[in-house]
Structure 1
């Protein structure tokens, strides 16, 4: 599990990023990192074209001066390997599969303990890792995490339906991507054209499209993400929940069980904000995350 690294400068985000391809027992995992300090692993959501960089590149300049930020492409996404139907069927589903890979990545990079931050599908992975290996987690930031949430309204939600539709029917298109992004955000005018084009182009990768059909079939077999809410009491790390009040993918009402069952938890709700707090409320997100994580580094 020896990481292979290269370095390149991203003029838009500011810091230079080091790239690792870590060979795990499940397959290669792609990681980009920058900064120094306590490691902060940032896990992206599960939408079409998602990757660590596409979700969080706008937050790097604020976080890398204080933390060693690692942007991980989870299995099935970005430049990481794409699990087969057999791998997901024989294992623990995508969440458990991702946790196994993440623990091997941390070991390969010499990281014993780290802060974890995850959104949606990545929030499920962060939560599951905090449950399985609490000794590896310093502090936990969850943005509308899958698995730990109990919906009070109809499911699938509007955002979940758009994700299911994207690769079905006539397949990917810029129009579909624009519709999907509008559901992710409260204010559609905040969608940068480069974000739309980048994620659309990434979604055209045939391996990514094949994986999405595998993932949706796995969700159907397992009736969605694993019910991580059943084991919320196993989370030992201080936890910050970040939620857009107007999230149409993982709705705010479902946060109540997390507030009740996680021992050390706090919640910040953003008005006029959808599923992507890190983009729509970037400066507040950066400040809250910095302050919360730095409390644990004192």
Structure 2
């Protein structure tokens, strides 16, 4: 049976938050957490990886609280801790005692927070360009961050703004299709999403300084970065590698922020290899 967003769609009550997710496959659980940006959602970030990864794992692709079809609660405390709480409750509700995690950008930060707070829940961790360290070389805010922060400002969200944002996160611009732009733009202008979006506004939202605690992470971790990432430079990955006791770093050339999509086959091989290998 061909896997689709519709056929794999599920909901679960995780404490006070109803979470939407996609599930397929059997075996060790792999929780996939997407990045936070205008128009982001679980299937949009990891749907293209599901067929290959579900041959080896029980893959659970979530919509972050506030994104996709998940509830959109107000978050007054640190976001990464809030996400960790929700996903810990989600694992309990699904009867999952232990899992692997793969997280993109904000999703990687949430995974790191879970590894810090509840390491017994996490078997191995894969993070793709998480925003958890200072850049040594890139001026702040980066080009990509400016596109994100200004998305809802000025004249408001638009298809043109979404196209410019996608052009900063994807190295090979020939792969940016009208369908991709339209999908991300459509999701970004959902009224409920716009009312609670944590990225896309000039206002700051509270996040915890995880970079100060990277040395405390004991979980075996694979760090993946695109060399041409114009949102979070790969030197942050080098900083993480220097701080973390049990980490390795893979840098993909000719790749921007969205490595699971731009380098789907290589990313899938790296994920399967890392999670299956004896370490």
Report the TM-score when normalising by structure 2: 0.94
TM-aligned CA deviation for residue 160 of structure 1? 1.1
Please, which runs of 5 or more residues in structure 2 have no aligned partner? none
Q: Deviations over 1:109-139 (max 9, x none)?
A: 0111100000111111011111111000011
Please, which runs of 5 or more residues in structure 1 have no aligned partner? 1-8
CA distance in 1, matches of 2:205, 2:166: 27
Tell whether the 8 Å contact from 1:150 to 1:255 is kept in structure 2 after alignment.
Answer: no
CA distance in 1, matches of 2:135, 2:120: 30
CA distance in 2, matches of 1:277, 1:242: 8
CA distance in 1, matches of 2:100, 2:22: 16
Matched residue, 2:22:
32
Q: Secondary structure in 1 aligned to 2:186?
A: helix
CA distance in 2, matches of 1:16, 1:76: 20
1:74 is aligned to 2:64: yes
Q: Deviations over 1:127-170 (max 9, x none)?
A: 111111100001100000122x2212221111111111111122
Tell whether the 8 Å contact from 2:38 to 2:199 is kept in structure 1 after alignment.
Answer: no
Size of the aligned set, in residue pairs, is: 278
Q: Deviations over 1:82-132 (max 9, x none)?
A: 122xxx22x2x2111111000000000011110000011111101111111
Q: Deviations over 1:179-225 (max 9, x none)?
A: 110011111111233222111111121111111268847x6264xx3
1:7-156 pair list within 5 angstroms? 11=2, 13=3, 17-84=7-74, 88-89=75-76, 91=77, 93-147=78-132, 149-152=133-136, 153-156=138-141
Q: Tell which deviates more after alignment, 68-77 or 170-179.
A: 170-179
Matched residue, 1:261:
243
TM-aligned CA deviation for residue 226 of structure 1? 1.7
Matched residue, 1:288:
270
Q: Deviations over 1:44-79 (max 9, x none)?
A: 111111111000111111100000000100111001
Cα 1:135/1:216, change in 2 over 3 Å = farther
1:201-220 pair list within 5 angstroms? 201-212=186-197, 216=201, 220=204
Matched residue, 2:214:
232
CA distance in 2, matches of 1:138, 1:233: 18
CA distance in 2, matches of 1:58, 1:221: 30
Q: Secondary structure in 2 aligned to 1:126?
A: helix
Cα 1:15/1:293, change in 2 over 3 Å = farther
CA distance in 2, matches of 1:241, 1:50: 21
Report the TM-score when normalising by structure 1: 0.88
CA distance in 2, matches of 1:158, 1:15: 32
Tell whether the 8 Å contact from 2:223 to 2:248 is kept in structure 1 after alignment.
Answer: yes
CA distance in 1, matches of 2:80, 2:64: 10
CA distance in 2, matches of 1:221, 1:286: 32
Q: Secondary structure in 1 aligned to 2:204?
A: helix
| Bigger helix fraction | 1
